[in-house]
């Protein structure tokens, strides 16, 4: 069990038929991806070839912000707005796709980019799965 799962388990109201497993998976993936992207950007800044990683760093930081915000939005359920949730999930999936592609381009040379690309792919998939579960 994760903290997200534990917290959802304590929610006093019905979640309105949301797939709890998909929701927990997505929250966890978003928060994990935010951390991976932040760490990857920092690692890129420490590389000797930092000038060649400018786009990767920017994409990492943007993705980290979007993922962290998405994880927070998904953690709130009072006054749930499915349209807003879908928009946030779509933005997060797009950010993860872009960042995953950018990091994958550097993955053979930088292990931190490989790890980050994998986290981005997991988060993108989790966002898309939750969107599908929302209907």
Within a domain: residue 120? yes
Dihedral sign, CA of 3, 6, 11, 17?
A: positive
Our count of domains for the chain comes to 1
Give me the pLDDT at residue 17, please: 79
Residue 47 lies in a domain: yes
Is 11 within the bounds of a domain? no
Look up the domain containing 47 and give its range.
18-134
**Mind listing the pLDDT tens digit for each residue in 37-79?**
999 999 999 999 999 999 999 999 999 999 999 999 999 988 8
CA separation for the pair 85, 2 (Å, rounded): 21
Give the pLDDT of residue 77: 86
Tokens representing 12?
Answer: 């006093």
Measured between alpha carbons, how far is 5 from 107 in angstroms, rounded to an integer? 32
Half-sphere exposure of 13 (CA within 13 A, CB side): 8
Q: In this structure, how many other beta carbons lie within 10 angstroms of the beta carbon of residue 97?
A: 17
User: Residue 89 maps to which CATH number?
Assistant: 1.20.1270.360
């Amino acid at each position: 069990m994760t903290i997200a799962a534990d917290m959802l388990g304590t929610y006093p109201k019905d979640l309105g038929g949301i797939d709890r497993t998909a929701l927990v998976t997505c929250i966890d993936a978003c928060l994990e991806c935010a951390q991976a992207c932040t760490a990857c950007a920092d690692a890129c800044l420490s590389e000797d070839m930092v000038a060649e990683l400018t786009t990767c760093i920017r994409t990492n930081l943007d993705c980290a912000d979007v993922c962290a915000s998405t994880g927070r939005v998904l953690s709130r359920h009072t006054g749930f707005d499915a349209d807003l949730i879908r928009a946030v999930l779509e933005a997060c999936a797009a950010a993860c796709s872009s960042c995953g592609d950018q990091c994958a381009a550097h993955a053979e040379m930088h292990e931190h980019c490989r790890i980050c690309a994998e986290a981005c792919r997991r988060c993108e998939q989790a966002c898309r799965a939750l969107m599908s579960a929302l209907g």
